[in-house]
Amino acid sequence: MELVGTQEVELVRNEREFRWVAATLVMLAMLVAGAAVAGSPAAKEAAADMKWGYKTARRGYWQEALARFVHANELTPAQPRILNNIAVAQEANGMYEEALLTYQEGLAIAPNNDALRRNYMRFKEFYSSYIAPPEESVEQGGGGEEADDAQDDS
C-alpha cells in the first residue's frame, strides 16, 4: 500500500466534501422548486380538480371526471399522472382515438411510468381487438357489408 502525503489526503477530503455539498445543494434546490410549484395556486387548483375527478369517476360520471382532469392538465401541463387519468376517462367516454393519443403523449414524457404503461398496454390490446380490428379481405370470405346488414336486421 502506498502512503499518501497529508496534502493529498486533505485534497481528497475537500473534494468529497465539495461533492457532498454540491449534491446537497442540488437536492435542496429540487425541494424548494417542488414546494414552490406544489404551493402555487394553479397546483392547488389542479390537485382539487384531480381529487374531484377521482370522486366522479368512481361514481361513474366519466364526462365530469374528464373535464376535471383536462382542467388540471391545463393548470399543470405535461404531468404523466394527469395524462393517464385523461386517457382513462377518454376511454370510458368512448373517445378511443383521443385516448390512444393521450396515452402516447404521456409515455413520451414518462416512458417508465408503470401505471401509464400498464394502462396503455391494456388499452392497446382492447383497441386492437375490439375497436380497430383488421378488416377481413374478400378472399377470406369476409362479407363486410353483408355482415353489417345482417346485424342491422336483428
Kindly report, residue by residue over 7-62, the tens digit of the pLDDT: 554 544 555 555 554 444 444 444 444 544 557 999 999 999 999 999 999 999 99
What's the pLDDT at 105?
A: 97
Crossing angle for the helix pair 80-92 and 96-109, to the nearest 10 degrees: 170
- Residue 98: which residues within 8 A CB-CB, separation 6 or more? 90
Four-point Cα dihedral 124, 125, 129, 131, nearest 10:
-30
pLDDT band at 152 (very low <50, low <70, confident <90, very high): very low
Fold type of domain 41-133: 1.25.40
With cut-offs at 50, 70 and 90, classify the pLDDT of residue 4.
Answer: very low
So what's the pLDDT on residue 147? 38
Q: What percent of the chain has pLDDT over 70?
A: 60
- Ramachandran bin of 78, using left for φ above 0, alpha for ψ from -120 to 50, beta for the remaining angles: left
- Amino acid 31: pLDDT: 43
CA-closest candidate to residue 49, choices 87, 80, 90, 86 = 86
Q: What is the pLDDT of residues 79-136, one digit of tens each?
A: 999 999 999 999 999 999 999 999 999 999 999 999 999 999 999 999 988 887 666 5
With beta carbons less than 8 A apart as the criterion, state whether 88 and 115 touch: no
Residue 13 pLDDT: 53
What is the CB neighbour count within 10 angstroms for residue 65? 26
2 pLDDT higher than 50: no
